Structure 1
Amino acid sequence: MSLTSTQPQALQPHPDLFAPIALGPVQLRNRIIKAATSEGRSPEGLVTDDLIDFHLDFVRGGAGLTTVAYCCVSPEGASAPGQILMSEKALPGLRRLTDAVHSEGGAISAQLGHAGMVASKKITGVTSMGPSRFVNPSSMEYCRAMRREEIPMVIDQFGEAAKIAVEAGFDAVELHFGHNYLPSSFLSPLLNRRKDEYGGSIENRSRLVREIAQRVREVVGNKVAVIAKISMDDGLPGSIWLTESIRTAQLLDQDRTLDALELTQGSSIIRQMYLFRGDVPVADFAAVVKEPMKTGVRLFGKFALGNFPYKDLYMLEAARQFVPVMKNTKLILLGGINNLEHMNTGMQEGFDFIAMGRSLLREPDLINRIKEDGNVTSRCVHCNKCMYTVYARTHCVLEPDSHFSPLDDSVSAYSVPEEYRLSVTPV
């Protein structure tokens, strides 16, 4: 008589999932990327031991590449207080960070961004700018139109930030072309109403991101990998959608300036839940602001943030449209990836890398556990309460004793100065 085991059979990983893989000039130990998530661990705009420990947890937990978010290319490009400014002053700390990650066998990427119209004058001290005049509905701040002569300056700022990243020992840079930050806003027909060569057709609106990517590639050569994060659609009617974002991706691919493209969705201006999906923690956001904003958030928060149901692999339907377009550029799948089955699906669909965010905030060692047992799945419940912790130190609120909880009451979200309590700016 034979005995039949009642134990579930462990899923087997796609043959290439945990094998070493080249990302441009960089060799990664596997295809799993810790996606950029706002960190709140640089109160003076410099690297801290807390930030180093934050990324070491993901590397020790099995991620092949961890992403530092968010690194400003200029002071006026900050989207929140306490973000790292890519400068000579930041170099010693950045080197400590990259050395620490390399000592654990991991690789590290610096996300380079300019917030554009998402930036706040309360933080930067200057009026925000975008392709055209605009009033940010979340902050109710005016955004001025960029002057033509300012565009080359921004392109140069991305190049200089990339140079700092190379000097600091990063393995990759990620160019933030998503979420209606400055480069992304140029891609949007809703936000970009320019009459010059940077407005009008999608070819013209794609000009800025192409020129940024070109400048960064000229600066870094083959010393580091170059990744871009681009919004497939931003959830705003009349704005970025697949018909045009696919064309932008095709143009970038033809330029051969990128090693990989990470596909995302959503906006940092309004309806921010289109990126995250799932629960809308309105009461928690209201708790970190004062009146009259508190009442406004309670009454209109769900409408402003949007309410989009969560489902596993929620970006896959849009992202698979890009697979046949890319001839020279690898693709990174993001969104609702929580277990080995999801990873295998991404690989089978033709993606080259898998990026994970909230699930690794919940369990930094999730990758190692999945590698050991194919039946393991993330304990993230998509409550999205981690969203409001960006006002202090980003962490999973369901892990109060972990490295991700506030160190003490003095750094809780409730102690953040009122002028810094702004709309959510996901990365």
Structure 2
Amino acid sequence: MIPTLLLRPGRIGSLALDHRMLMGAMHLGIEGDRSQLGQLAAFYEERVRGGAALIVTGHAAVLPEGGGHGMYDLTAADHREQLRELAGRIRAAGGKLALQLTHTGRYARGEETGLAPRAPSAIASRLTRETPEALTLADIARVQEAFAEGAAFARDAGFHAIEIMGSEGYLLNEFMSPLTNARDDGYGGTLEGRIRMSAEVVARIRERVGREFPVIFRMSGDDCMDGSTTPAETLALARALERSGADALNVGIGWHESRLPTVGATVPAGAFAHIVGAVRGAVGIPVIGANRLHTPEAAEQALARGDMDFVAPARPWLADPEFARKILQADRDGLNVCLACNQACLDRAFARKTVGCLVNPRAGREAEPFVRAAAPLTVAVVGGGVAGLQAAKTAAERGHAVTLFEARERLGGQFLLASRIPGKAVFRETLRYYTVALQRLGVDVRTNVSPSADELRAFDRVVVATGVQPHVPETLAGADLPLVCTYAELLAGGRPLGRRIVIVGGGGIGSDVAHYIAETAALRPDVHAFFAERGYAAAPAQAAPVRITLVSRSEKVAKGVGVTTRWVLLEELKRRGVDVLKGYRCRAVVPGGVWVENDVEERFLEADQVVLCTGQRSRTEWMGLLGEGDRRPDVVGGASDAAELNAARAIRQAYEIAMTL
């Protein structure tokens, strides 16, 4: 598919844009730290070179109590000076930068700001477990003035536009929602009262900055919270914002505390585009969409249906800083697609850590020079999982002559197995990206080959990336019985599914395997739709009943899975009827089932299939092949550390090793 609508120029107020692909706001966790200003600027500059028509910064708090970790504070003189320098650098690079003005409301954390959080009403936040103080009328006037002052600063500091944050459950969104606004004055009660705060903020900004400075309002298209703003009320808000002077509306989806996934890989591409489309149908100004528009196909379809005028994905720009440039040049094969895994971005942001990207180890370190090797070497990489692929790619980019050996027929290793898990089929995009990159770099890729020691000694350097293999506990009686298999054998398609399945191991792998089995055993959604659309009520729930029991030694199932995705996975297991047994050890497998026990009792679980998800161990057969000293190979990824699979760590480590060759 060759995008056409994405390539058309457009306008937001007075701002002319070369095409329809913006970069949405996101945080790197370094904002406000002067020592990291160079890195932040380098991050944005690389996206300018990558073709972003307009870049929106992460939150800049208009008042201290509405800020927090990794945010600029517009009341701090040094933060203002940093932002001036940032805007100047992006202008010098030929880019356009919009400053996002924010007050986090009841989502602010007192431990970070040193101040009590403020909100429309004193209603506790489930996210922070703090109860905010209700804003007085004088406070409301102060907040409005702070937004207007922030907009004037942005204009004078050299930003091309502002975006007002009124989505995702932050302060202005809180005024709109009856869940967080229990006021009985002119800023609550009626729909008009709940709209008033956002409309007045826009009007006050417009009065302060004039008609020519572009003002974008990020509004909530759907809070995904029971009892919150209705669709009709949302459209009324959109029309009010247009009347107040907004030049464009950027439509966000969901609150941080909502129980509907909005950004994870389980969400279909473009799933919320129709919500953005409803807003676009209610106003005459441009409308922007963001959620799950991570590929050119999804973005182009959203524009073609008339759901939006611009797209503003965020994390896809982490995965590939040339997101727009590659689409403009019709280089879909070269695009490094965001996996929506959240592991190195959102999970780290919520943990107050510096943000990176699983599939792009340079994300967050753009200020570090990428130096070509002074003396090109011959480099052998043993193992074609993601660690080996990244090592080969980086080494070749630095000018080395690289040969990649993979013992199996296909590249990908554990990552390829994981691509069979529901919501992780997109992992194949990463493998496609690496395969194309290695071809273009001239890497000699040899599959179905295990090199000999003599072959490897002919290379200047060797990188071992042989990964892991499933660990089968030696103490587990019956592990060799025919009904037993490992997760790798099952995911590779080497074993048909049973009907009474016990999964031993409740970590991330075991939980993923339970999800895979439950989804595989059920009828596909398109089959259900086929029967339902034709009024056939007798469509079965699944082809044949399958009972799945997940046995976890820990009381915490899916331990180690990131905070932003673990709850989604657990909800999926519950929805699919997976039985979860917590705090039990597997004592023995016998014909017909499994004996499990804890400190109180033992139980027998009937089974015709037992899947072992009991950890991994490094594949060490290459470790000592070349001897010690200067000939000792570099070891990366699972081959060096077989802890719970961590592709982000493996890819990052492979990149770092290859940068030293």
SS of the residue aligned with 2:276?
helix
Aligned partner of 1:380: which letter? C
Q: Say which of 108, 114, 127 aligns to 2:116.
A: 127
Aligned residue pair count: 364
Shift of 1:45: 7.2
Aligned partner of 2:113: which letter? T
Instruction: Output one character per residue of 1:195-240: Cα deviation in whole Å (capped at 9) or x when no partner.
Output: 0011112111000000000111111113421000011111111012
Q: Say which of 345, 359, 362 aligns to 1:398.
A: 359
Question: In 2, Cα distance between the equivalents of 1:161 and 1:315?
Answer: 31
Are positions 1:258 and 2:246 aligned together? Answer: yes
Shift of 1:273: 6.2
CA contact (8 A) 2:39 2:367 kept: no
**Which has the larger displacement, 339-348 or 159-168?**
339-348
Instruction: Output one character per residue of 1:75-117: Cα deviation in whole Å (capped at 9) or x when no partner.
Output: 1110x31311124433332222122222232210000000110
CA contact (8 A) 1:33 1:356 kept: yes
Q: Say which of 252, 258, 261 aligns to 1:274.
A: 261
**Which has the larger displacement, 331-340 or 41-50?**
41-50
Question: In 1, Cα distance between the equivalents of 2:61 and 2:212?
Answer: 21
- Alignment partner, residue 4 of structure 2: 13
Aligned partner of 2:360: which letter? E
Question: In 2, Cα distance between the equivalents of 1:18 and 1:137?
Answer: 42
Aligned partner of 1:334: which letter? A
- Alignment partner, residue 232 of structure 1: 221
- Alignment partner, residue 40 of structure 2: 51
CA contact (8 A) 2:47 2:322 kept: yes
- Alignment partner, residue 312 of structure 2: 355
Question: In 2, Cα distance between the equivalents of 1:354 and 1:401?
Answer: 24
**CA distance 1:324–1:209, shift in 2 (3 Å):** same
Shift of 1:136: 1.4
- Alignment partner, residue 81 of structure 1: 69
- Alignment partner, residue 383 of structure 1: 341
Instruction: Output one character per residue of 1:283-307: Cα deviation in whole Å (capped at 9) or x when no partner.
Output: xxxxxxxxxxxxxxxxxxxxxxxxx
CA contact (8 A) 1:45 1:84 kept: no
CA contact (8 A) 1:338 1:378 kept: no
SS of the residue aligned with 2:124?
strand
- The gaps in structure 1 that reach 5 residues or longer are 1-9, 279-308, 408-422
Question: In 1, Cα distance between the equivalents of 2:336 and 2:359?
Answer: 13
Q: How many percent of aligned residue pairs carry the same amino acid?
A: 27
Question: In 2, Cα distance between the equivalents of 1:325 and 1:225?
Answer: 20
CA contact (8 A) 2:43 2:367 kept: no
- Alignment partner, residue 364 of structure 1: 321
Question: In 2, Cα distance between the equivalents of 1:337 and 1:240?
Answer: 24
- Alignment partner, residue 273 of structure 2: 316
- Alignment partner, residue 325 of structure 1: 282
CA contact (8 A) 2:355 2:364 kept: no
**CA distance 1:394–1:241, shift in 2 (3 Å):** farther
Shift of 1:43: 4.7
Aligned partner of 2:320: which letter? E
Instruction: Output one character per residue of 1:13-47: Cα deviation in whole Å (capped at 9) or x when no partner.
Output: 22xx3243222122222221100012212253797
User: Which structure carries more relative contact order (alpha carbon 8 Å, separation 6+)?
Assistant: 1
SS of the residue aligned with 1:323?
helix
CA contact (8 A) 1:178 1:184 kept: yes
CA contact (8 A) 1:267 1:274 kept: no
Aligned partner of 2:264: which letter? R
Question: In 2, Cα distance between the equivalents of 1:47 and 1:112?
Answer: 21
- Alignment partner, residue 62 of structure 1: 51
**Which has the larger displacement, 225-234 or 96-105?**
96-105
CA contact (8 A) 1:171 1:225 kept: yes
Question: In 2, Cα distance between the equivalents of 1:179 and 1:406?
Answer: 31
Question: In 1, Cα distance between the equivalents of 2:260 and 2:356?
Answer: 18
Q: Say which of 96, 110, 118 aligns to 2:107.
A: 118
CA contact (8 A) 2:336 2:359 kept: no
CA contact (8 A) 2:299 2:311 kept: yes
- Alignment partner, residue 291 of structure 2: 335
Shift of 1:144: 1.7
Shift of 1:404: 4.9
- The gaps in structure 2 that reach 5 residues or longer are 369-562, 565-661
Could you state the TM-score of these two structures normalised by the residue count of structure 1? 0.80
Question: In 2, Cα distance between the equivalents of 1:261 and 1:219?
Answer: 19
Question: In 2, Cα distance between the equivalents of 1:223 and 1:47?
Answer: 32
Question: In 2, Cα distance between the equivalents of 1:402 and 1:251?
Answer: 39
Question: In 2, Cα distance between the equivalents of 1:406 and 1:62?
Answer: 18
Question: In 2, Cα distance between the equivalents of 1:63 and 1:337?
Answer: 15
**Which has the larger displacement, 230-239 or 93-102?**
93-102
Aligned partner of 2:185: which letter? D
Question: In 2, Cα distance between the equivalents of 1:45 and 1:258?
Answer: 32
CA contact (8 A) 1:128 1:143 kept: yes
SS of the residue aligned with 2:261?
helix
Q: Say which of 15, 20, 35 aligns to 1:31.
A: 20
**CA distance 1:12–1:397, shift in 2 (3 Å):** closer
Question: In 2, Cα distance between the equivalents of 1:126 and 1:54?
Answer: 31
Could you state the TM-score of these two structures normalised by the residue count of structure 2? 0.53
Question: In 2, Cα distance between the equivalents of 1:404 and 1:323?
Answer: 37
CA contact (8 A) 1:233 1:240 kept: yes
**CA distance 1:47–1:381, shift in 2 (3 Å):** closer
- Alignment partner, residue 97 of structure 1: 86
**CA distance 1:98–1:331, shift in 2 (3 Å):** same
**CA distance 1:202–1:115, shift in 2 (3 Å):** same
**Which has the larger displacement, 224-233 or 47-56?**
47-56
Aligned partner of 2:161: which letter? A
Question: In 1, Cα distance between the equivalents of 2:251 and 2:147?
Answer: 20
SS of the residue aligned with 2:100?
strand
Are positions 1:185 and 2:166 aligned together? Answer: no
Question: In 2, Cα distance between the equivalents of 1:174 and 1:401?
Answer: 27
Question: In 2, Cα distance between the equivalents of 1:404 and 1:272?
Answer: 33
CA contact (8 A) 2:320 2:337 kept: yes
Shift of 1:406: 11
**Which has the larger displacement, 161-170 or 314-323?**
314-323
CA contact (8 A) 2:167 2:173 kept: yes
Instruction: Output one character per residue of 1:350-377: Cα deviation in whole Å (capped at 9) or x when no partner.
Output: 3221111111111111211112126445
**CA distance 1:401–1:32, shift in 2 (3 Å):** closer
Question: In 2, Cα distance between the equivalents of 1:21 and 1:47?
Answer: 33
Matches within 5 A, 1:239-254: 239-254=228-243
Shift of 1:402: 4.1
SS of the residue aligned with 2:271?
coil
Shift of 1:119: 0.4
Question: In 2, Cα distance between the equivalents of 1:403 and 1:38?
Answer: 10
**CA distance 1:204–1:368, shift in 2 (3 Å):** same
- Indicate the RMSD between aligned Cα atoms, in angstroms: 2.2
